[in-house]
Structures are given as structure tokens and as C-alpha cells.
């Protein structure tokens, strides 16, 4: 006897359980919707499983390894530092498992139905969710697509045991002696720095004139200074041509300054960007509009051109940031519930976990002037901060961007230790419409890195204490 595929009816179907999808599902459920979330992979998506979280765990282990070698300036000498990389990977796995199981608990606690399988759209109210054993039809009133992105593969560098994407680089079983990194963006810089701290000889090949495109040169200079100390070689305006693989290594060919060169290494890591996962899910069945990059066009409420279908995260225009996806997920869930939520990226931070960290929010001085603001920049160095000096980590600066006529905070850029944490205060200031005076009048604990924000605000007011 064959049992028919009777449709399961839900208010909202969420496709993809990454930081966009699972947050959208929880918020939709909190607002009274009957929600099903589906993903063919693990809960947490790329971010929790093979992206943000494991990479930061590896970066932290790399920092600890570097510090374990001591510091003669501080009178600290160590001998015979060793790294059991299998233990590092085991610890990293525990961090990931704790968070993914936490996501499962949150979804279940909010009564979200979790389904594992591939989703294919039949029409704007119907989808099939398929696993290896069966196919189940789902009828939905609204749908939030949050399928994320995947690493771009260069045709002449097909991913393999020796040609790695970011996932492969995070899961190596040993510390390589040598690694070539193709692409000096945030992923290449973060993972390259992490392995350099473990002692790997790193060569970065970047096609543009500088690494970390999108960040100001003043900021990237601070990172490049540290990379040089780690003996990382950066070759800019370099075109990767091809790779020869052997059982125990690779030979990478590239062109720079009109000459063809080769480098031998244990592995080559390819980090040249990510592409949206909008293929093979039946978007054409819905008539959803995508641009030439495969990104889905959305309005201020994350709604596509099909009124009951929403899209968020890496599959829509903007930077591929986990926190952007989560933010858009909340907006979409609230819009479906009839609330007047709209996306507003004015306080959206971007962070690179390089050494030292980089962070930016709002407008740069250049972007502010291009947007028609009379803007000024107030820059305060970490080297003039007591806490930074006591940490022996004083490279970098904070630059506060304010509107000249009233001191309104419209942006900031930070290069320095804990930039990823410090940027939140300025994001709040921008969202709340605060001025430099509001920040300057806020008492910041001493000694702390947070004082740098206060000092920059005082400088913006023309009354700095700890700098001329």
C-alpha cells in the first residue's frame, strides 16, 4: 500500500538554517507563526560549522601559540613550545558542537519544526523537501529563503586534497610547513595569519593593488606591518595561473610584474570570494528576479518580487556578513507578521579578525564627503592608551567621523586589538543619533581600550586630553 504525499501546511517555511535562517525562524515563531525550517546540512550553516566560529577558534589557538613563544622585551623566555594540532582541532570541534546543539535547543524551545533535506520550489505556495528516503510536500503562506553562499572555485584550481577552500583549510590534520593563499581578502588574511602564528610559511597572492580591499589603506598598513613580522610574503597584482599537484605538495604558477613565477608548498588555499546558493532550488518556478551575480532583488522588508517570498543573507545584495543575515532575518519575520520593520544598514559593522583586528561602521571620511556631508575625522592612536601599552599591543588607531555642524557621529574605523568589540559602542551611537559630545561625556573605565573611543570624541570636539 502506497501512502500519498499529503501536504504539510505551515504559516512560514524557512529555507536554510544558518545565522539568517535560524534567527528568522525563531523570531517568526515568537510572533505567533507556525514555522518549519529546512536545511540539507547541519544547523548553524556555514557560519557555525565551517566559517565564523571554527575560524575564530583556530585564530585564537594561533594567537596562544604565538604568545607561548614568549617575549624577550617583557623578560619572558620559553623553550620547546609544541602544538598537538589534533587537540586544537578537537577543541575547535567542541566549540562548534556546543553552539550547533544550542541552536537546535533554541529552535525546538520556540516550537519550530526542523526538517533535514533539500528544498525545491513547485510554485509560490508549495515546496518539496527531499532526503535520501522520501519527498514531502509543504504548503506555506510565506517563505524566507536563506540558503547562504559557497566558495568560488577557480577553473584552474579545482578543489582537492591539496587545493583547499576555507572549509578544507579549517580541517587540516597537521600544521603545514608552507602554504600559498590565493586572495588577500578577509578570509585569506584571517586564515593566513592563523597558520602563520602556528609557524607556517605563508605566501599571499592578491590580484589587486593591496590586500583587504574595501578597507582604508591606513588600516591595512597596520595589518601588513604585523604580517611582515610573521614573515608572511604578500605579492600584489599577481595572477594565479595554475597548479601542479603531487602526493605531498603543490607547485603554484603565477604571473606578477610581467614575469611568470612558481612557488612550491604543502597546500594552496583559494579564497577569491563566495557565490550565492540560488541554483537548483527552483527559483525559476517562482519567477523570482535575480541579478547577473545570482543575487535576489529585495525591497526594504526583504520581500522579493513575489509578494509572499522573502530572501536574506548572502543571497541578497550587500556584504556577506553573518550578523547582516541575522538582522535581515528578524526584519523579514516581523514584516510577515504585519509589523513595520525595514532594513537600515546605517549601523552595520564589518570586522576582520586579522592581527590586529579591523572594524568599520557607518561612513568613512571619504564616503561621507562623497555623500554630501561636511565631515571631519578625529584620530586617536592606541599607542597613547595605557591599557594598550600594558597589553604590549599598541599598534593602530581609532578614527571617529562626525558631521561638522553638530558633531553627529556618522562613522568610525578601528585598527587595533579588540576592534571587533569596540566598534559596537560606535554602532550604537550612530543608531541612536548621538554626537561626539554624548560619547565624550560618557565616563569610560580606566585603564581600558574603551577610553580610546572617548578620547577620539574629545579630539572631535577640539579638546583632547592625551594627545596634542
- Cell reading at 307: 509578494
Question: Which residue range is the domain that position 436 belongs to?
Answer: 356-460
- Here the CATH number for the domain that contains residue 320 is 3.50.50.60
73: annotated binding-site residue? no
Percent of the chain with pLDDT over 90: 97
Residues 230 and 90 reside in one and the same domain = no
Tell me the per-residue pLDDT of 346-368, one tens digit each, with 9 for 90 and over.
Answer: 999 999 999 999 999 999 999 99
Residues 201 and 88 reside in one and the same domain = no
Residues 141 and 280 reside in one and the same domain = yes
Residues 339 and 393 reside in one and the same domain = no
The SS3 assignment for 341 reads coil
pLDDT at residue 192 in the model: 98
Q: Note the pTM of the prediction, 2 decimals.
A: 0.96
426, 361 contact by CB (below 8 A) = yes
Domain boundary among 251, 272, 293: 272
Q: Is residue 1 part of a domain?
A: no
Tell me the per-residue pLDDT of 217-228, one tens digit each, with 9 for 90 and over.
Answer: 999 999 999 999
As beta bridge partners, residue 340 has none
Q: Is 69 a catalytic residue?
A: no
- Measuring CA to CA, how many Å separate 151 from each of 46, 154, 159, 191, 273? 11, 10, 10, 14, 6
Rounded Cα–Cα distance for residues 183 and 206 (Å): 5
Tell me the per-residue pLDDT of 86-135, one tens digit each, with 9 for 90 and over.
Answer: 999 999 999 999 999 999 999 999 999 999 999 999 999 999 999 988 99
On the question of pLDDT at 2 being above 70, the answer is: no
Q: Is residue 350 part of a domain?
A: no
On the question of pLDDT at 1 being above 50, the answer is: no
Residues 137 and 169 reside in one and the same domain = no
Tell me the per-residue pLDDT of 358-409, one tens digit each, with 9 for 90 and over.
Answer: 999 999 999 999 999 999 999 999 999 999 999 999 999 999 999 999 999 9
Residues 328 and 377 reside in one and the same domain = no
98: annotated binding-site residue? no
147: annotated binding-site residue? yes
188: annotated binding-site residue? yes
On the question of pLDDT at 3 being above 70, the answer is: no
Domain count, the chain: 3
Residues 290 and 142 reside in one and the same domain = yes
Residues 324 and 423 reside in one and the same domain = no
How far out from the chain centre does Cα 461 lie?
A: 33
Tell me the per-residue pLDDT of 191-219, one tens digit each, with 9 for 90 and over.
Answer: 999 999 999 999 999 999 999 999 999 99
Catalytic pick among 323, 444, 446, 466: 446
Q: Is residue 95 part of a domain?
A: yes
Tell me the per-residue pLDDT of 406-443, one tens digit each, with 9 for 90 and over.
Answer: 999 999 999 999 999 999 999 999 999 999 999 999 99
Residue 119 φ/ψ, nearest 5 degrees: -105, 135
pLDDT at residue 5 in the model: 72
pLDDT at residue 412 in the model: 98
117: annotated binding-site residue? no
Rounded Cα–Cα distance for residues 188 and 166 (Å): 8
- Here the CATH number for the domain that contains residue 440 is 3.30.390.30
pLDDT at residue 4 in the model: 55
Residues 251 and 387 reside in one and the same domain = no
Q: Are strands 178-182 and 267-270 parallel, antiparallel or unpaired?
A: parallel
Residues 180 and 251 reside in one and the same domain = yes
Amino acid at each position: 500500500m502506497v501512502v500519498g504525499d499529503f501536504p504539510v501546511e505551515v504559516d512560514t517555511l524557512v529555507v536554510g538554517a544558518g545565522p539568517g535562517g535560524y534567527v528568522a525562524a525563531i523570531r517568526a515563531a515568537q510572533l505567533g507563526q507556525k514555522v518549519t525550517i529546512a536545511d540539507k546540512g547541519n544547523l548553524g550553516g556555514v557560519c557555525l560549522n565551517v566559517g565564523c566560529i571554527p575560524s575564530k577558534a583556530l585564530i585564537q589557538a594561533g594567537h596562544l601559540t604565538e604568545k607561548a613563544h614568549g617575549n624577550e622585551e617583557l623578560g619572558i623566555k620559553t623553550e620547546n613550545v609544541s602544538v598537538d594540532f589534533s587537540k586544537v582541532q578537537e577543541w575547535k570541534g567542541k566549540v562548534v558542537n556546543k553552539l550547533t546543539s544550542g541552536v537546535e535547543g533554541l529552535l525546538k524551545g520556540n516550537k519550530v519544526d526542523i526538517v533535514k533535506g533539500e528544498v525545491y520550489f513547485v510554485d509560490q505556495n508549495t515546496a518539496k523537501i527531499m532526503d535520501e528516503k522520501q519527498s514531502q510536500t509543504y504548503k506555506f503562506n510565506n517563505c524566507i529563503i536563506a540558503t547562504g553562499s559557497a566558495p568560488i572555485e577557480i577553473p584552474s584550481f579545482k578543489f582537492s586534497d591539496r587545493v583547499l577552500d576555507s572549509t578544507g583549510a579549517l580541517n587540516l590534520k597537521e600544521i603545514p610547513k608552507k602554504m600559498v593563499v590565493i586572495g588577500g581578502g578577509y578570509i585569506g588574511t584571517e586564515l593566513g595569519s592563523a597558520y602563520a602564528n602556528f609557524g607556517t610559511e605563508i605566501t599571499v597572492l592578491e590580484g589587486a593593488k593591496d590586500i583587504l580591499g574595501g578597507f582604508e589603506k591606513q588600516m591595512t598598513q597596520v595589518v601588513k606591518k604585523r604580517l611582515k613580522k610573521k614573515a608572511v610574503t604578500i605579492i600584489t597584482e599577481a595572477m594565479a595561473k595554475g597548479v601542479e599537484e603531487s602526493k605531498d605538495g603543490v607547485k603554484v604558477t603565477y604571473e606578477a610584474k610581467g614575469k611568470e613565477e612558481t612557488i612550491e608548498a604543502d597546500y594552496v588555499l583559494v579564497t577569491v570570494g563566495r557565490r550565492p546558493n540560488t541554483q537548483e532550488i527552483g527559483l525559476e518556478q517562482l519567477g523570482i528576479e535575480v541579478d547577473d551575480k545570482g543575487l535576489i532583488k529585495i525591497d526594504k522588508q526583504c520581500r522579493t518580487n513575489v509578494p509572499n517570498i522573502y530572501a536574506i543573507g548572502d543571497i541578497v545584495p550587500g556584504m556577506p556578513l553573518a550578523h547582516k543575515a541575522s538582522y535581515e532575518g528578524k526584519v523579514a519575520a516581523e514584516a510577515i507578521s504585519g509589523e513595520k520593520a525595514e532594513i537600515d544598514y546605517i549601523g552595520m559593522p564589518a570586522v576582520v579578525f586579522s592581527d590586529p583586528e579591523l572594524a568599520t561602521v557607518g561612513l568613512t571620511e571619504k564616503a561621507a564627503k562623497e555623500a554630501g556631508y561636511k565631515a571631519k575625522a578625529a584620530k586617536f592612536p592606541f599607542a597613547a592608551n595605557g591599557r594598550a601599552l600594558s597589553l604590549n599591543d599598541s599598534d593602530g588607531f581609532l578614527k571617529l567621523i562626525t558631521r561638522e555642524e553638530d558633531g553627529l557621529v556618522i562613522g568610525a574605523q578601528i585598527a587595533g586589538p579588540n576592534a571587533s568589540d569596540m566598534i559596537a559602542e560606535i554602532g550604537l551611537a550612530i543608531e541612536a543619533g548621538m554626537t561626539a559630545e554624548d560619547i565624550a561625556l560618557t565616563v569610560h573605565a580606566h585603564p581600558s581600550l574603551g577610553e580610546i573611543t572617548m578620547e577620539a570624541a574629545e579630539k572631535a570636539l577640539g579638546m583632547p586630553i592625551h594627545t596634542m
